[in-house]
Structure 1
Amino acid sequence: MSPLAIFFFFFFNLSLATNTIYNVQNFGAQSNGKIDSTKAFLSCMGFCMCFYERLHYYVPRGNYLIRNIYFNGQTCKSNAIAIHIDGTLLAPSDYNAIDNDGSWIKFEKVNRVSIYGGIFDGQGASLWACKNSKKNCPKGTTALAFYNSNNIVMSGVTVQNSQMFHILVDGCHNAMIQGVKVLSPGNSPNTDGIHVQSSSGVSIMNSNIGTGDDCISIGPGNSNLWIEGIACGPGHGISIGSLGWESQEQGVQNVTVKMVSFTSTENGVRVKTWARPSNGFVRNVLFQHIVMSNVQNPIIIDQNYCPNHESCPNQGSGVKISDVTYEDIHGTSATEIAVKLDCSKTNPCSGITLEDVNLSYKNGRAEASCVNAGGRASGFEELSKCL
């Protein structure tokens, strides 16, 4: 466990020492999954505006139907809030019943909020069907979102069947996400498991993630991320990117991804940038102790991302990728080329290290392909030739 993880484990358990507990059922919440309990939840949580002490909210067993909930920390005087959930929160199955404002349950500008246990079910199947039929559908909402917040903890939580992203961490500092489950079918579009952007000091640990998109996606403006003990599949793997859409964009640095297993995913560990001019960067990244099982693209850098050749044809990516290490990565590739480093023609990758990478394809050794990539490699001969 990282030092950051140990610190937050003890810090937030100490924060639970309080006798003030508010049960949502005492505010009228119904546990039959049919009666709208949104007002009851908002009334219960609204009590934080009246107290400076640490508060507990409790959701008993049962199913609670709720529409959009927005919690703004600027109106709250409490110095710590813990939400304990034994039940299941259900979004309406009709996607038109939720305001399409980006988030189903949203926390903004909060400090020291902890969520323990419970199931958040976005019931996104009807929207997925709409999108898969290529109709004119709304974008959808993220199930659980944190914006511009500090000292956040999520532990033992299940988030499933979101219309879009399952968990979003945006503009946050010091967040611990541990022991969570993120679940949606492999054919559910745009359902990233956990998306992090413009944040620092985020740890994601000991979690199972299976979705129709990236298990974990890392957007621009991130630093000091620690990802460990993840089981990923189905999904598109763990991705840094897409980066470089904007010409002026914050970079990504100091990222550790270790002790991860990928099972039948589209990608394993990926760095993806648009083939457009940009001042962005990716540096100081470690991918370590990783097992691939029937993964289509186990190790991939794609700096020529340009769907349908629109908005970026024949342009080189301006994102500078440097000092990326792949260490102790083993297992099986579903394609012959298991290591594909397709770097920018205008900003070649530098400082790439491939050490103890051993990937097989069918009954033989997998292949490697490197374009505009510099660094060093040890292991099978194809890697040494690649760099």
Structure 2
Amino acid sequence: MSTMVLMINLTSSSVAFAAPTTFNVVDLGAKGDGRTDSTRAFLRAWESGCASPSSTTIYVPQGRYLLNEVLFTGECKGRVTFKIDGTLVAPSDYRILGTSGKWITFNKVQGVSISGGILDGQGAGLWACKATGKNCPFGARSLEFTYSSEITITGLTSMNSQIFHIVIHDCKNVKLQQVQVTASGNSPNTDGIHVQGSTDVTITQANIKTGDDCISIGPGTTNLWMENINCGPGHGISIGSLGKAANEQGVQNVTVKTATFSGSQNGVRIKTWARPSTGYVKGVLFEDIIINNARNPIIIDQDYCPHNEGCPGQVSGVKISDVVYRNIRGSSGSQVAMKFDCSPKTPCSGIVLNNVDLTYGSKSASSSCINADGSAFGLVHPSSCLAA
């Protein structure tokens, strides 16, 4: 009996494994002194990383790196990770970025990750300008992803953004984990995370303290999951405002699970303009939520008309349906702890209260319903005003 032995010699010529590549921004000319413009060095790192067919890391060591407006655009050949141990700093003169509306933007990228790091938008100067009522620029968003997919942001801190901190716009398959947002409670338009026109987005373990919505959800958002969120100060987690445009995409399949609101203006809110619209909100779950002295713990406001401009005498066309509030407890900063102010043209329907317990100090809390239908189960306090 003979034995045949087949030997295969795997050499570098027969099988090739592409090693990950790292580009250090300091090696490409960046300086972590907080004064030297490092924008070109970051762009050089991006161009090299984006052109590489293997997985690439762009490394930002400790230090403060001054960046002007910068656009990272795809499509890249391989996946790119920004590993940030330092701080990216916006120009101290708010006018440099304030009229463009943007600071750091990723456009049409796939498989990009950001790990760690701090973004310092240095927005206090613009906030002070706006407080005086002078003619100020609107401001710049700190970080924005547009028309992108398979994005991961982990352990990033955004502080003192001029306006919105992190924006996810027209994207799919996005994960934000362990994100920190900090800004003054009086800072205008500084939404922590804004999601719009995007699908399959998850936001987990986020701590947000800011002057506007902790998380805001714009038209065209579907399959959004938010879990383990701490909010306050801020304006709460808001779907909207919606319905500013007559023809607008709807919002569907949104979940907020395990969230705490402390000293915020609102808890969970849905807000629409009092204007004709084809938009809608449906399939929303707010669950396992603690409210610590929020002015409006639960609110639907379909009569939004700031400064009485563009909508006096009109009503909202946005249809709100199938919204569930489950296992929510805590204290209200106002007597009306639950407010459902819905449109007479498209009344809210399918609103469900299940184990909701909200108090107002030593006084009795109340609920208010206008054009709202739904049901209540379990302990509901204050008593439900929903029409069955």
TM-score by length of 2: 0.93
* Equivalent position SS for 2:111: strand
* Letter in structure 2 aligned against 1:25: V
Per-residue CA deviations over 1:200-255 (Å, capped at 9, x if unaligned) read: 00000001001100000000000000000000010000000000011110000000
**Do structure 1's residue 283 and structure 2's residue 276 form an aligned pair?**
no
* Equivalent position SS for 2:47: helix
Question: 1:19 — aligned with what?
Answer: 20
Please list, as runs of the form range in 1=range in 2, the aligned pairs for 1:286-297 lying within 5 A after superposition.
286-297=285-296
* Letter in structure 1 aligned against 2:27: N
Please list, as runs of the form range in 1=range in 2, the aligned pairs for 1:236-251 lying within 5 A after superposition.
236-251=235-250
Asked if structure 1 preserves the Cα contact closer than 8 Å seen for 2:358 and 2:382, the reply is no
**Do structure 1's residue 117 and structure 2's residue 121 form an aligned pair?**
no
Per-residue CA deviations over 1:14-62 (Å, capped at 9, x if unaligned) read: xxx9531000000111111111111111112111343211111100011
**Hey, what's the Cα distance between the residues in 2 that align with 1:49 and 1:364?**
60
**Hey, what's the Cα distance between the residues in 2 that align with 1:18 and 1:166?**
34
**Hey, what's the Cα distance between the residues in 2 that align with 1:99 and 1:128?**
11
Change (3 A) 1:60 1:386: same
* Letter in structure 2 aligned against 1:33: G
Asked if structure 1 preserves the Cα contact closer than 8 Å seen for 2:337 and 2:382, the reply is no
Question: 2:311 — aligned with what?
Answer: 312
* Letter in structure 2 aligned against 1:57: I
Change (3 A) 1:336 1:142: same
**Hey, what's the Cα distance between the residues in 2 that align with 1:98 and 1:225?**
30
Unpaired runs of at least 5, structure 1: 1-16
Question: 2:253 — aligned with what?
Answer: 254
Question: 1:29 — aligned with what?
Answer: 30
Asked if structure 1 preserves the Cα contact closer than 8 Å seen for 2:50 and 2:78, the reply is no
**Hey, what's the Cα distance between the residues in 2 that align with 1:101 and 1:309?**
28
**Do structure 1's residue 384 and structure 2's residue 384 form an aligned pair?**
yes
**Percent identity, aligned pairs only?**
54
Per-residue CA deviations over 1:167-206 (Å, capped at 9, x if unaligned) read: 0000000000000101100011000000000000000000
Asked if structure 1 preserves the Cα contact closer than 8 Å seen for 2:65 and 2:86, the reply is yes
Residue 381 of structure 1: how far off its partner (Å): 6.2
**Hey, what's the Cα distance between the residues in 2 that align with 1:245 and 1:47?**
42
- Is the helix fraction higher in 1 or 2? 1
Please list, as runs of the form range in 1=range in 2, the aligned pairs for 1:66-77 lying within 5 A after superposition.
66-74=67-75, 76=76
Q: Report the aligned-residue RMSD.
A: 1.2
Task: Name which of structure 1's ranges 375-384 and 365-374 shifts more when overlaid on structure 2.
Answer: 375-384
Residue 72 of structure 1: how far off its partner (Å): 0.8
Q: What count of residue pairs does the alignment treat as equivalent?
A: 369
Residue 382 of structure 1: how far off its partner (Å): 4.3
* Letter in structure 2 aligned against 1:144: L
Question: 1:50 — aligned with what?
Answer: 51
**Hey, what's the Cα distance between the residues in 2 that align with 1:34 and 1:226?**
39
Question: 2:41 — aligned with what?
Answer: 40
Asked if structure 1 preserves the Cα contact closer than 8 Å seen for 2:51 and 2:78, the reply is no
Asked if structure 2 preserves the Cα contact closer than 8 Å seen for 1:18 and 1:56, the reply is no
Change (3 A) 1:203 1:244: same
**Hey, what's the Cα distance between the residues in 1 that align with 2:191 and 2:64?**
24
Asked if structure 1 preserves the Cα contact closer than 8 Å seen for 2:25 and 2:41, the reply is yes
Asked if structure 2 preserves the Cα contact closer than 8 Å seen for 1:354 and 1:383, the reply is no
Question: 1:159 — aligned with what?
Answer: 158
Task: Name which of structure 1's ranges 93-102 and 370-379 shifts more when overlaid on structure 2.
Answer: 93-102
Asked if structure 2 preserves the Cα contact closer than 8 Å seen for 1:153 and 1:175, the reply is yes
Structure with max Cα Rg: 2
* Letter in structure 2 aligned against 1:43: R
Please list, as runs of the form range in 1=range in 2, the aligned pairs for 1:141-180 lying within 5 A after superposition.
141-180=140-179
Question: 2:332 — aligned with what?
Answer: 333
Task: Name which of structure 1's ranges 38-47 and 316-325 shifts more when overlaid on structure 2.
Answer: 38-47
* Letter in structure 2 aligned against 1:100: T
Unpaired runs of at least 5, structure 2: 1-17
Task: Name which of structure 1's ranges 49-58 and 135-144 shifts more when overlaid on structure 2.
Answer: 49-58
Asked if structure 2 preserves the Cα contact closer than 8 Å seen for 1:268 and 1:292, the reply is yes
Question: 1:212 — aligned with what?
Answer: 211
Change (3 A) 1:18 1:210: farther
Q: Which runs of 4+ in 1 moved over 6 A?
A: none
**Hey, what's the Cα distance between the residues in 1 that align with 2:381 and 2:99?**
52
* Equivalent position SS for 1:235: coil
* Letter in structure 1 aligned against 2:95: N
**Hey, what's the Cα distance between the residues in 1 that align with 2:51 and 2:223?**
35
**Hey, what's the Cα distance between the residues in 2 that align with 1:233 and 1:318?**
31
**Do structure 1's residue 324 and structure 2's residue 326 form an aligned pair?**
no
* Letter in structure 2 aligned against 1:72: T
**Hey, what's the Cα distance between the residues in 1 that align with 2:161 and 2:98?**
14
Asked if structure 2 preserves the Cα contact closer than 8 Å seen for 1:68 and 1:99, the reply is no
Please list, as runs of the form range in 1=range in 2, the aligned pairs for 1:131-142 lying within 5 A after superposition.
131-142=130-141
Asked if structure 1 preserves the Cα contact closer than 8 Å seen for 2:80 and 2:111, the reply is yes
Residue 307 of structure 1: how far off its partner (Å): 1.3
TM-score by length of 1: 0.93
**Hey, what's the Cα distance between the residues in 1 that align with 2:349 and 2:116?**
43
**Hey, what's the Cα distance between the residues in 2 that align with 1:166 and 1:323?**
30
Task: Name which of structure 1's ranges 358-367 and 203-212 shifts more when overlaid on structure 2.
Answer: 358-367
